[in-house]
Amino acid sequence: MAMYEEFKKRYDKCQAEEAERKKQLDRMSNWRLLVFLAGAVASVLLFLETNVVYGFLSLVVWLAMFIWLIARHRKMSAELKKVSCRVVINREYMDRMGSGWMDFSDCGQEFANSANPYTGDLDIFGPKSMFQWINIAKTYYGRVALKNLLEGPDKSIAAIQMRQSALRELSKKLDFCQGLQSEGMLSKGVENNPQKLLEYAEDQTARFKNKKLQNLFYVLPASVILTFTLWLLGSSIPLFLPLLLLVTQMIIFAAGYMRNSEIANAVYGLKKHLGAYANLLRLIESEGFENEYLCGLRGKLFTGNELGAGSDAKMHGPDLDKRMRGFDGKGEAASTSLRRLENITNAVDIKYSTVLYFILNIFTLWDYHCVFALEEWKSHYGKNARQWLETVGQMEGLSSLAVVGHMYPEWVYPTLSQSGLKFVAKGIGHPLIAKNVCVRNDFEISRGACVITGSNMSGKTTLLRTVGSNLVLAYAGAPVFAEKLECAVMDIFTSMRVHDDLGSGISTFYAELLRVKMIIEHARKGLPMIYLIDEIFMGTNSLDRTTGARSVLKNLNRGWIIGLISTHDFELCDLEKEKGTNVKNYHFTETYSNNEIMFDYRLRPGRSRTRNARHLMKMVGIELEE
């Protein structure tokens, strides 16, 4: 529980800091009100009792103080929000090490897919799922990246080992991962698909292709201001000239209003998210990674090819800061580039100050200059925007997997077997069961099938899910809940949580048949695979169930396949004695005392010798005929 205490310590520290910052913010609010009232009274008195100049100077001084206090209040409020996020984050880490994580709001329900060969049966998405347990991603691409790592990662041994190496480093960077989560939490809406922003950024169609024509929009406003100024200074320039130029600009402004607004609004709608993405990018850019894969990801956040995966990608400190500050259209940090877009959207924001917006447009053609700035930004950086956001997502996905290592540094990274099928585990447990209550077992299989027997609630289904869930973590590159695990890279197929479909006229038994058919069809492809089938054909009579199960086992008795089947039909255990079937029996058992059933959830070799259905029926009050 050492890490639980660490999270508790962080939680208590952040909570105390949060309380203190709230007090400071309240005091700042009081000072702000006091300065406003004092400034108003002092300035009015000076205006009435002394020279107007003193009153004006007093107003300027008090106003400056008031503006400074507003700025200070905003900064303190932002700092308080960050501390509050840290409180929540460390509370969530503590919940993950118990059962509180099952109440987390984001469970990835939209990623649940009944057609997937294993995610539904292994609780990968949805309530009480692996996604719900470890996810700290807040952006759209971050959640998708974690989904892909759990559902369909690159399973080449080199790719898995590359992710393992990256996660070993991220597991030691708790502050970085919590900072990434905090920045994501501070902006609502970043979980939405940024497709509109990306479509705009990647659309290289320019409204004003003629650069010389653009110069007109600089010359005209300058001419208006110059001629008005000269006329006001008493020159011989007639008034109709600046007025004529002004009317011309008004016509130009009106003619382009709809199109300019359409362009500006395309990116302005995402204004509130640009700062959040920029902060996330800045955090990744400034982190000093050692792992080559992580350095390569960070290198994608710099335009140009100067900073990629290699020795240059490990740049940090003054060299990195210099690169991030530079602006030459290439080699610039993504966060700086995105801040530029945010600044442009701030200029567009003037649109919602009607009087100022109208004045700026008739005198400077403000809308056109905003559009010019947007098009220049697109030409420099538009093609990189998708890569930036996807890179943030990839980092969030990896950081979510690193949560496992943050909580349980003693969990192991599996060894990937490069020759033959193999699953050899020592002290393996189900990752979603709290460590203090989970019973761990040794288990291995290198060929054929294992038939798991045992009475109800003895642990058969949990064993199948333990094997499957740890393989999902292993292939994602994360540590697994075991003292040791060596496994081959295999496709995972399951048939456990089968449901009927009344709308389609599919019974539970038929649904299971379709699931088993999918497993058998994949088996014919000759690809390494592992199957996990729970209570096979439980929806039919015992004779057909046994006959069908034997047929399935023989269909799957191939050199590139291993699997586990749980059953109550002890007849399947006889396959262990048949030549060429490669079946091995394991079982769980229970004991009885004072009319109570007690399970130890220990896996034992051989077939089960106990049944507990009658005892369970009596325990719930069902009277049985003797």
Q: What CATH number does the domain containing 552 carry?
A: 3.40.50.300
**Paired tokens of 558:** 């191939």
Say if residue 361 is in the same domain as residue 446. no
- At residue 330, does pLDDT exceed 70? no
Residues 164 and 76: their CA atoms lie apart, in Å, by: 39
In a domain, 400, yes or no: no
Calculate mean pLDDT across residues 60-86.
92
Residues 345 and 359: their CA atoms lie apart, in Å, by: 19
Note whether 518 and 505 are within 8 A (CB): no
User: Torsion over CA of 316, 318, 324 and 330, rounded to 10 degrees?
Assistant: -90
Residues 269 and 197: their CA atoms lie apart, in Å, by: 9
Q: How high does pLDDT run on average in the chain?
A: 86
Q: What is the CA radius of gyration of the chain?
A: 33
Residues 180 and 182: their CA atoms lie apart, in Å, by: 5
Paired with 426 in beta bridges are 484
- At residue 592, does pLDDT exceed 80? no
Structural domain including 49 reads 2-97
pTM over 0.75, yes/no: yes
Residue 59 binned pLDDT confidence (cut-offs 50, 70, 90): confident
Last residue of a domain, one of 356, 391, 426: 391
The amino acid sitting at 286 is: S
Q: How many CA atoms lie within 13 A of 619 on its CB side?
A: 12
Say if residue 425 is in the same domain as residue 381. no
Number of domains in the chain: 3
Say if residue 461 is in the same domain as residue 516. yes
DSSP line for 524-573:
TTT--EEEEESSTTTTS-HHHHHHHHHHHHHHT--TTEEEEEE-S-GGGG
Say if residue 607 is in the same domain as residue 479. yes
Last residue of a domain, one of 35, 68, 97: 97
Of residues 55 and 96, which shows the higher confidence score?
96
The CA-atom distances, in angstroms, between 273 and each of 10, 40, 140, 231 are: 28, 37, 12, 46
Residues 6+ apart with CB under 8 A from 64: none
Residues 376 and 278: their CA atoms lie apart, in Å, by: 19
Say if residue 338 is in the same domain as residue 383. yes
Alpha helix positions (H), 349-416: 354-364, 366-381, 385-407
Say if residue 338 is in the same domain as residue 456. no
In a domain, 137, yes or no: no
Task: Identify the CA nearest to 281 among candidates 388, 201, 386.
Answer: 388
Say if residue 384 is in the same domain as residue 419. no
Residues 390 and 378: their CA atoms lie apart, in Å, by: 18
At 203 the pLDDT is 81
Residues 415 and 425: their CA atoms lie apart, in Å, by: 10
In a domain, 171, yes or no: no
Calculate mean pLDDT across residues 429-441.
93
The highest-confidence range among 217-221, 547-551, 561-565, by mean pLDDT, is 561-565
In a domain, 168, yes or no: no
Say if residue 419 is in the same domain as residue 382. no
Opening angle at CA 167, ends 149 and 287, nearest 5: 110
Say if residue 492 is in the same domain as residue 564. yes
The DSSP secondary-structure symbol of 313 reads G
Say if residue 385 is in the same domain as residue 236. yes
Residues 267 and 196: their CA atoms lie apart, in Å, by: 8
**Paired tokens of 344:** 């442009």
Q: Which tens digit of pLDDT belongs to each residue from 130-172? A: 999 999 999 999 999 999 999 999 999 999 999 999 999 999 9
Calculate mean pLDDT across residues 93-102.
94
Query: Exposure of 206 by Cβ count < 10 A (0-12 exposed, 13-18 middle, 19+ buried)?
Result: middle
Where b means 16+ CB within 10 Å and e means fewer, 118-132 reads bbbbbbbbbeebbbb
Last residue of a domain, one of 375, 391, 407: 391
Say if residue 326 is in the same domain as residue 234. yes
In a domain, 582, yes or no: yes
Q: In what order do the strands lie in the sheet with 423-428?
A: 415-417, 484-488, 423-428, 441-445
Q: Which tens digit of pLDDT belongs to each residue from 232-261? A: 887 778 888 888 888 888 888 888 878 777
Task: Identify the CA nearest to 179 among candidates 39, 280, 81.
Answer: 280
* Lowest pLDDT segment from 46-60, 161-175, 259-273: 259-273
Residues 553 and 17: their CA atoms lie apart, in Å, by: 61
The DSSP secondary-structure symbol of 311 reads G
In a domain, 84, yes or no: yes
In a domain, 398, yes or no: no
Q: Which tens digit of pLDDT belongs to each residue from 197-206? A: 888 888 877 7
Do β-strands 561-566 and 448-453 pair in parallel, antiparallel, or remain unpaired?
A: parallel
Residues 566 and 460: their CA atoms lie apart, in Å, by: 6
Say if residue 428 is in the same domain as residue 387. no
- At residue 48, does pLDDT exceed 80? yes
The CA-atom distances, in angstroms, between 467 and each of 129, 325, 328, 484 are: 15, 49, 53, 13
- At residue 501, does pLDDT exceed 70? no
Residue 409 binned pLDDT confidence (cut-offs 50, 70, 90): very high
Residues 6+ apart with CB under 8 A from 18: 80, 83, 84, 87
In a domain, 126, yes or no: no
DSSP line for 176-245:
HHHHHHHHHHTSTTTTS--HHHHHHHH----S---HHHHHHHHHHHHHHHHHHHHHHTT-S--THHHHHH
Torsion 225-231-235-236 (CA) sign = positive
- At residue 369, does pLDDT exceed 60? yes
